[in-house]
Structure 1
Amino acid sequence: MLIKLEDEEGNIIDESEELMYLHGGYNQIFKKLEDELEGKKVGDTFHVTLTPAEAFGEYDESLVLKELLEDLPEDIYVGAELDGEEEGIVYVIESIDKEHAILNANHELAGITLIASGKILEIEQLSDEAAQELLKEEHHH
């Protein structure tokens, strides 16, 4: 399918040439978007609004930390990623001053309402075995 993600002001966040995903609860796309695509046919279009909770989550201030530079690796830079103490939490360094760095583990689109729109280009029916094979390949990247 062709898909475009915009914010509420109409700014394009992402416009993919083509997005392929496994339909049927495999959690490859947002649930509300998958629900909207249920029953669509080739050539059908879609337009769905996703609240922050339905997309990349609400912005969580507790995921923003101000850390002393002496407590961080020496080779940090703005945009660098650091693993948090909790499994699966990754902080991105947003800014660095003389003594501190600001780290943020929110997704860059957290707290933003998104509008997803596009067109179905192709639908392919897969056997359960083929679907499982695709899922396995996806996890090995």
Structure 2
Amino acid sequence: MQISPRTVASFHYTLTDDQGQVVDSSSGREPLTYLHGSGQIVPGLEKAMEGRQPGDQFKVDVTPEEGYGVHHAELVQQVPRAAFQGVDDVQPGMQFQGRGPQGAFNVVVTKVEDDTVHVDGNHPLAGQALHFAIEVTDVREASDEELSHGHVHGPGGHDH
């Protein structure tokens, strides 16, 4: 069976950056399982998965536009430390969720200076090309329940 809309695909992956450094990998873990066509993986990788079948091994380079997006300078901001009420020790690397006119958003603290906290609302991989090495391990038809819920159930997916 080939990967197409209405299928559940499982795959092992290694993600590297432009310098060849491993950013993430499924090595030593269960394969990643997703509902194809539901936007659960970055668009460029999902396009490359189309038509693949178990046993296929391939590499794909994904542009920032087809990955985690381009880096938006306006999402890098300085906010007063007072905005972090209830957090005594704000440190670089900490992640927070905020609310704005468009709803909830996540930020990462990049620097702390006196009463100013520098935050970045971009995805950590925004603006970066993604280099995937993929091995497809399984493809099956999605159940009606998975299709109606928009995600995989059972092993490698979500149990209700």
- TM class by smaller structure: 0.7 to 0.9
Provide the residue aligned with 2:20 in structure 1.
10
Gaps of 5+ in 2: 1-10
Tell me whether 1:20 sits opposite 2:33 in the alignment.
Answer: yes
Counterpart AA for 1:44: D
Deviating above 3 A after TM superposition, structure 1's stretches of 4 or more consecutive aligned residues are 136-141
Tell me whether 1:44 sits opposite 2:56 in the alignment.
Answer: yes
Gaps of 5+ in 1: none
Provide the residue aligned with 1:53 in structure 2.
65
Aligned-residue identity in percent? 27
SS at match of 1:122: strand
TM value normalised by structure 2? 0.76
TM value normalised by structure 1? 0.85
Q: Please say which of residues 89-98 and 60-69 is displaced more in the overlay.
A: 89-98
Please give the alpha-carbon distance, in whole angstroms, between the structure 2 residues aligned to 1:139 and 1:107: 24
SS at match of 1:29: coil
Q: CA 1:131 to 1:102, structure 2 compared with 1: closer, same or farther past 3 Å?
A: same
**Bigger share in strand:** 2
1:128 is displaced (CA, Å) by: 2.9
1:3-44 Cα offsets, whole Å, 9 max, x none, are 111111111110013110111x21111222122111112111
CA contact (8 A) 1:80 1:92 kept: yes
Tell me whether 1:68 sits opposite 2:80 in the alignment.
Answer: yes
Please give the alpha-carbon distance, in whole angstroms, between the structure 2 residues aligned to 1:84 and 1:65: 15
Q: How does 1:119-138 map to 2 (within 5 A)?
A: 119-133=135-149, 135=151
Provide the residue aligned with 1:117 in structure 2.
133
CA contact (8 A) 2:76 2:119 kept: yes
Please give the alpha-carbon distance, in whole angstroms, between the structure 2 residues aligned to 1:126 and 1:140: 14
Q: CA 1:134 to 1:59, structure 2 compared with 1: closer, same or farther past 3 Å?
A: closer
**Bigger share in helix:** 1
SS at match of 1:70: helix
